[in-house]
Amino acid sequence: MCGIVGYIGPRDCVPIILEGLRRLEYRGYDSAGIALVKGGRIQVHKKAGKVAALAESVRINGNGLSGGLGMGHTRWATHGEPTDVNAHPHFDAASEIAIVHIGIIENYRAIKTALVRDGHTFVSATDTEVLAHLIGETYKTAGDLTTAVRLALARVEGTYGLVVLSSREPDKLVAARKGSPLIIGVGEGENFVASDAAAIVEHTRHVVYLEDGEVAEVTRDKVRTMTIEDVEVEKLVHEVTLELSQIERGGYEHFMLKEIHEQPETICNAMRGRLLVEEGDVKLGGLQNVLGKLLSARRIVITACGTSWHAALVGKYMLEQIARVPTDVEYASEFRYRNPIINIDDVVLLVSQSGETADTLAALREAKSKGATVLGIVNVVGSTIARESDGGVYIHAGPEIGVASTKAFTSQLTVLALVTLLLARARGMPREKGRLLAQELASLPQKVEGILTRDEQIKRIAEEFGDHKNFLYLGRGANFPVALEGALKLKEISYIHAEGYPAAEMKHGPIALIDEQMPVVVIVPKDAIHEKVLSNIQEVKARRGRIIAVANDDDTEIDQLAEFVIRVPRTYGFFGPIINVIPLQLLAYYIAVARGTNVDQPRNLAKSVTVE
Ligand code: G6P
């Protein structure tokens, strides 16, 4: 999704902004631009394609471009194709102000029509240019930029994180937020604005989180914050703990591979200080205040998007089967618009890596407005979902840069397992059983470590199947969501069509697709329904489908049926997904590498989806 970085201070902003934009590349984008004030004029450079193309254009055409006030943007196209013209920043009619924007201005058509009637012409197809013109109009009478931005935004419907600068007031940036993330980085005699701490963390760790409806006037030495209605707001300065090494590749070819290999550690981090193996119990500080609510909840509703939604599906199996708490799972984008029946004794769990996904955030607000207790299972510390929840649990996976989520998924599952064990024990699970489960959880990092050593075999399978056009993934029970996740990983980074299905459901349609051109990946642990899944595999084999199985070390039957068997250690059934997904992540990764796709920046995708 779009990214923003702005700077005001004594240094040259150009390298700071370009480097900041590079740090935001992982969010997904298709064009980039930069604006700064120089010699009483705003200079803008923008380019479709990568930040490297923008940097090159600035080098060749910039004529020594430099200055102490500027801002940059990476755009993920919504209104208008990814072209130079549609890239941000955008000007107002007088070219006196420039704006960068994340989000969608929903009433831009009505505003545009009125502006066109007054003689405005537009060069781009974007909603953002309309907003630039609107602010420009207000600026004529408002007196100063901050007031102009406030007054214009009062007329706007939709979402935004934005930064505006003016050639008439080259001593400030004005930032505003509603629904899209935006932080102010506080430095010494210099300040920053960014959509993501990763863009500025090498300069400052002190940040102010803007809330919805807030505007910030950022000068070199000061950050003045107010509401759109001009009520001054006192803001706290927070410290972010992000390390630069965490957002660098550290010797791996891609962030995704680095993050896959981090999983033994990240799973461990999710449990650290929380899992009490001897007591067979769990302690979660972030749930302390809401424990009563959780225990008396009639049901839990989990809502999320993408990979996090797959984690939620596994969570349902865990919570219902181990803790016996009725649990529903729903896509956040559906939940928010269907006027869901939510009671005050429901607990709504939001699962989100970024903590900024627009639909998940809207679902949180919907549930809250209906009186439910809302809890977040979130990775990014201080993100909006984390801040707006009544309680929750951080997954502590560290920054996830690869667009295809990997380590966040296994950490989400680990935290869901912890929540489950906590509830199960509180609802009467004997200590002995709790201890067995806790021991099993504690053993997972080592088991994942073992699977990661098998990547040579997975590479060979990837080479064998890399040129196929379709894949089917099958699993049952808690491994059905793993099949969905395996298929999603493949789609996201290799652009191969893949579907996940509950194995037994295959005969109700997908079986028609099976022939020797159809690789079928089956997750077949030795659990209570092992024999059933073997029968499903027979059905595939009878139609000459080619089978890749993810099976336990001691499964001897599977060799007769599958062409390739990737071995995984045994674990307690409902924790199986944490282990079984690892080979599927590696398979998708190596297939994408074999096909030469850009694994870390796959086409059309965004890491953090801040528009609905
Ligand atoms: C995007 C990302 C996915 C992610 C989904 C939900 O589509 O590319 O990897 O699963 O958003 O994001 P969240 O940050 O809420 O987990």
Q: In this predicted model, what pLDDT tens digit does every residue of 89-98 receive, in sequence order?
A: 999 999 999 9
Return the pLDDT at 255. 93
Which pTM was predicted?
Answer: 0.87
Q: In this predicted model, what pLDDT tens digit does every residue of 524-581 receive, in sequence order?
A: 999 989 999 999 999 999 999 999 999 999 999 999 999 999 999 999 999 999 999 9
Q: Is the CB of 306 under 6 A from ligand 1?
A: yes
Mean pLDDT along residues 221-225: 97
Cα dist. 267→76, 223, 279 in Å?
Answer: 32, 39, 20
Out of 361, 384, 385, 607, mutate this one to test ligand 1's pocket (max ligand atoms within 8 Å of CB): namely 607
Q: Is the CB of 303 under 6 A from ligand 1?
A: no
Q: Does the structure show a pLDDT above 90 at 215?
A: yes
Burial 166-192 (b: 16+ CB within 10 A, else e): bbebbebbbbbbbbbbbbbbbbeebbb
Mean pLDDT along residues 497-523: 93
Q: Is the CB of 352 under 6 A from ligand 1?
A: yes
Q: How far is the CA of 124 from the centre of ligand 1 (A)?
A: 29
Q: How far is the CA of 256 from the centre of ligand 1 (A)?
A: 14
Percent with pLDDT over 90 in the chain? 88
Q: Is 50 a catalytic residue?
A: no
Q: Is the CB of 426 under 6 A from ligand 1?
A: no
Mean pLDDT along residues 180-208: 95
Q: Is the CB of 307 under 6 A from ligand 1?
A: yes
Q: In this predicted model, what pLDDT tens digit does every residue of 111-121 receive, in sequence order?
A: 999 999 999 99
The structure tokens 């214009």 sit at 152
Q: Does the structure show a pLDDT above 90 at 368?
A: yes
Return the pLDDT at 568. 97
Q: In ligand 1, which atom is closest to the CA atom of 492?
A: 8
Q: Does the structure show a pLDDT above 80 at 495?
A: yes
What band does 447 get if pLDDT is binned at 50, 70 and 90?
Answer: very high
Return the pLDDT at 259. 96
Q: Does the structure show a pLDDT above 90 at 608?
A: no
Q: Is 268 a catalytic residue?
A: no
Q: Is the CB of 331 under 6 A from ligand 1?
A: no
Q: Does the structure show a pLDDT above 80 at 1?
A: no
**Helices and strands, number each (H, E), in the chain:** 19, 26
346 phi/psi in degrees, rounded to 5: -90, 150
Looking at residue 50, its amino acid is: K
Q: In this predicted model, what pLDDT tens digit does every residue of 23-32 receive, in sequence order?
A: 998 888 899 9
Q: Say how far apart CA 14 and CA 17 lie, in whole Å.
A: 5
Return the pLDDT at 291. 95
Return the pLDDT at 246. 83
Six token digits for residue 442? 């504690």
Q: Which residues contact 405 (CB under 8 A, 6 or more apart)?
A: 306, 307, 308, 353
Spatial CA neighbour of 213 closest among 144, 141, 149: 149
Q: Does the structure show a pLDDT above 90 at 160?
A: yes
HEC string for 296-342:
HCCEEEEEECHHHHHHHHHHHHHHHHCCCCCEEEEEHHHHCCCCCCC
Mean pLDDT along residues 339-354: 94
Q: Say how far apart CA 165 and CA 171 lie, in whole Å.
A: 9
Return the pLDDT at 488. 98
Q: Does the structure show a pLDDT above 90 at 438?
A: yes
Q: In this predicted model, what pLDDT tens digit does every residue of 124-159 receive, in sequence order?
A: 999 999 999 999 999 999 989 999 999 999 999 999
Torsion of CA 90, 92, 98, 103, to 10 degrees: -50
| 20 in Cβ contact with 32 (< 8 Å) | no
Q: Whose CA is nearest to atom 5 of ligand 1?
A: 306
Helix axes 145-153, 127-142, angle to 10 degrees: 130
Return the pLDDT at 605. 86
